[in-house]
Amino acid sequence: MSFTQSLRRSAVDIEARLDFLIGQESGGRVPLRLRGAMRYAVLGGGKRIRPFLVIETAKMFGVPALGSIDAACTLECIHCYSLVHDDLPSMDNDEVRRGRPTLWKAYDEWTAILAGDALLTLAFEILARPETHSDPSVRAELVLLVARASGAAGMVGGQVVDLEADKLGVPAAPSLAHIRDLQAMKTGALIRVACEAGAALGRATTSERDALQRYGDALGFAFQIADDLLDADGDAATVGKAVGKDASAGKATLVSLMGIDAARAKLKEVETEAISSLAPFGSRAATLIDAARFVAQRTS
Ligand code: GRG
């Protein structure tokens, strides 16, 4: 089976589980409008790369997919909430996401804000449940890792730094270090924690965790460079959202700093860095190696 096929197959299982988890949330007392909006946000396509990384990293340590799928789904809930909020008029003001109207366009702003809030909260409800892992110390560690990655020093913090430059004209110092730091928080933290969560579920050793953190860091950076390149020269229909937004907003990205060709070369370098970090795992890491290649070469 090719990598794309296994990603798609895993996405089917993840979507079925997300559907179930949203359906049974809080004993079924969720208002219909909210449940509909949460389902719209989560179940409308998407590559499901973050949950895939949790499942495949955990598999390297002998954890079957059934043992990691709930933790995996929590990262997709958080990712989807971040997209819903990012698309709002007060943030990126986007009308198309995953090839269809964004949640605030399909419903309205207040529903989109609250559906995002509910998805973030649901993620932590799931992480804390015994069904996610039988050992409470593993669950507590997952909560800590995911909270740090998605919160003020992670994804939310990265979004603030990005929007400060965009909305308040805070001059972005467009250096490679600034861009890497910003992206490590905004996009990278969730990708890195996907690998860390898999390692926590699999009770990996410290040196194994270190290697996976290096992989996760490089993968997150590769993911963002690929995203910037898609924005610069991708096709909106294939990408599933508007393109060319970074340049028109004057955003500091690797592409604006270095140009397209140098950004492509950097992407190759970071892809190699990600793959090299997996050396200690030998052939056990074959799927994660493929994931790095996929992320670097993605077209949507
Ligand atoms: C609102 C707190 C808050 C944070 C938003 C992630 C983010 C921070 C904003 C999204 C802006 C953006 C498009 C960033 C580029 C990287 C990215 C997250 C791309 C979309 O992720 P994919 O390609 O999307 O995994 P799918 O649709 O496949 O799930």
pLDDT tens for 258-269 read 899 999 999 999
The response to whether residue 94 sits with its C-beta less than 6 Å from ligand 1 reads no
Atom 5 of ligand 1, nearest CA residue: 82
Atom 26 of ligand 1, nearest CA residue: 46
Could you report the per-residue pLDDT of 156-193, keeping only the tens digit for each? 999 999 998 888 877 666 788 888 999 999 999 999 99
Over the range 122-150, which residues count as b (16 or more CB within 10 Å of their CB) and which as e? bbbebbeeeebbeeeebbebbbebbbebb
Which atom of ligand 1 lies nearest, measured to the CA of 85? Answer: 1
Residue 40: is its pLDDT beyond 90? Answer: yes
Could you report the per-residue pLDDT of 82-136, keeping only the tens digit for each? 999 999 999 999 999 999 999 999 999 999 999 999 999 999 999 999 999 999 9
Which atom of ligand 1 lies nearest, measured to the CA of 48? Answer: 29
Distance 94 CA to ligand 1 centre (A): 12
User: Is the model's pTM score more than 0.75?
Assistant: yes
Distance 56 CA to ligand 1 centre (A): 21
The response to whether residue 49 sits with its C-beta less than 6 Å from ligand 1 reads yes
| Torsion 139-145-151-156 (CA) sign | negative
Q: How far apart are CA 247 and CA 256, in angstroms?
A: 7
Contact of 124 with 71, CB cutoff 8 Å: no
Which atom of ligand 1 lies nearest, measured to the CA of 116? Answer: 1
End-to-end CA distance of the chain: 21
The response to whether residue 47 sits with its C-beta less than 6 Å from ligand 1 reads yes
Which domains, and CATH codes, for the chain? Answer: 3-297 (1.10.600.10)
